[in-house]
Amino acid sequence: MRGASVQGFLIATATAIILAVAAAFAAPLVVDWTAWRTTFESEATRTLGVPVLIRGTIDADLLPAPKLILRGVTIGTDGVSSGGTVEEVRAELSLGALMRGLVEARGVTLVRPALRLVVDNAGRLVAPTGTGTPASVTIDRLELRDGSLDLVDRAGDRTIRFQRMDLRGDMRDFSGPFRLEGEMEAFGARRTVRLSAGKSAPEGTRLRLIAEDAAAARTLDLDGLLRFDRGTPVFEGKGSLAQQGTAGAAWRVAGPLRLAPNAAVMETLDLSLGDEARPVQFGGSARLSLGSALGLDAVLNARSVDADSLFGAAPGAIRAPEEGLAALAGAFARLPEAPIPVRVGMAVDQLTIGGTVV
């Protein structure tokens, strides 16, 4: 599935109502818009290239500006591929743009959208049956209220859920650029997120994601290209995960990142522990295996480690060797606890404790 199609899927519930308005204008002026349900569905499906069903009632106002409300919207009809539902879709359109043959929305609100992205056993994104090329649509204000997104991994037989999603943004076209920011709940914590994507190109789509957990003072930052390799989504770029804290509690891991359904790999990484002014630094590599066999394998190495810096004391402060080793172990213990098997190999050429090489 192409990058543009993925972007189209994520907001297809909004554009379904927008693109169907042409059929509404072609119909006689009637009060019961729900009677034209099939026309709305057919026009939306044809234009989006994604199966659209409207199971609830339809309300519409044509003047002074076209406004539509659809209830019970479904994207995808088989329930096993990528798709979703939206309890209610509200849209306000630009009448001037419609008269010029363009589809522009001043605002689109999705109320309680429940979306899913499905990856099959081979790591390919499973598009809704009948997915085609989306049309050109502009949305000035896009809002998701109390939404959820399920990432379904068939190979690993697991589902990752993002819920209580409250996001706002805009979209220039299905092929980008678009922007979303707001809050969601993921992995048991409320997080602030900022997501932006550039215009889709043959080499991929430029993507930036920043997610912050204020309670843990932790920030994830991804910046790179998202592309599809024969249906398999692949992200390649830079990644970092950092936590702010007092002496000895701060840390940061960063490096080139390749993320695919089967694994997240950093062939070269930098790990910093402790204060930014005097960090304990390691190089190395890491691989997070996904799919059916979850596990993290990492190799860390350092030419010289000054354990004194983890105390926040002045250089050369006198410490017993066992205290220095305990401080170093404590710094690693403050890294996020992973509920998966973790294997780490470590090599340190020179260790300094209390100003003395041991």
164: phi > 0 → left, psi -120 to 50 → alpha, else beta; which?
left
Tally the C-alpha atoms within 13 A of residue 252's C-alpha that lie toward its C-beta. 16
Q: Is residue 239 part of a domain?
A: no
Residue 298 to residue 248: CA distance in whole angstroms: 21
Cβ pair 149, 140 in contact under 8 A: no
Q: Are 183 and 322 within one domain?
A: no
Domain count, the chain: 2
Q: Are 158 and 265 within one domain?
A: no
pLDDT given at position 14: 47
Each residue's pLDDT tens digit, 305-356 = 877 666 655 555 545 666 666 767 767 777 777 778 989 898 888 877 766 7
Q: Is residue 86 part of a domain?
A: yes
- Which one of 160, 175, 196 terminates a domain? 196
Cβ pair 148, 113 in contact under 8 A: yes
pLDDT given at position 298: 94
pLDDT given at position 304: 82
Q: Are 90 and 189 within one domain?
A: yes
Q: Please give the model's pTM, rounded to 2 decimal places.
A: 0.82
pLDDT given at position 29: 47
pLDDT given at position 10: 45
The sheet carrying 305-306 orders its strands as 305-306, 351-353, 356-357
Q: Are 168 and 276 within one domain?
A: no
Q: Are 191 and 321 within one domain?
A: no
Q: Are 73 and 164 within one domain?
A: yes
Q: Is residue 231 part of a domain?
A: no
92: phi > 0 → left, psi -120 to 50 → alpha, else beta; which?
beta
Kindly report whether the peptide bond that precedes residue 177 is cis, defined as omega within 30 degrees of 0.
yes
Q: Are 134 and 192 within one domain?
A: yes
Q: Are 278 and 168 within one domain?
A: no
- Which one of 196, 226, 260 terminates a domain? 196
Q: Are 182 and 320 within one domain?
A: no
Q: Is residue 76 part of a domain?
A: yes
Token pair for residue 23? Answer: 């059929």
Q: Is residue 206 part of a domain?
A: no
Q: Are 43 and 121 within one domain?
A: yes
Q: Is residue 233 part of a domain?
A: no
Q: Is residue 6 part of a domain?
A: yes
Domain that holds residue 70: 1-196
Spatial CA neighbour of 17 closest among 77, 86, 65, 101: 86
- Which one of 196, 218, 252 terminates a domain? 196
Which residues, other chains included, contact 139 with Cβ-Cβ below 8 Å and sequence gap of 6+?
A: 11, 14, 15, 18, 104, 105, 107, 108, 170, 171
Q: Is residue 279 part of a domain?
A: yes
Q: Are 162 and 251 within one domain?
A: no
pLDDT given at position 115: 95
Q: Are 23 and 124 within one domain?
A: yes
Around Cβ 314, how many Cβ atoms within 10 Å? 10
The residue ranges of the chain whose pLDDT is under 70 are 1-31, 47, 246-248, 277, 308-325, 327, 330, 354-355, 358
Spatial CA neighbour of 17 closest among 52, 63, 62, 56: 52
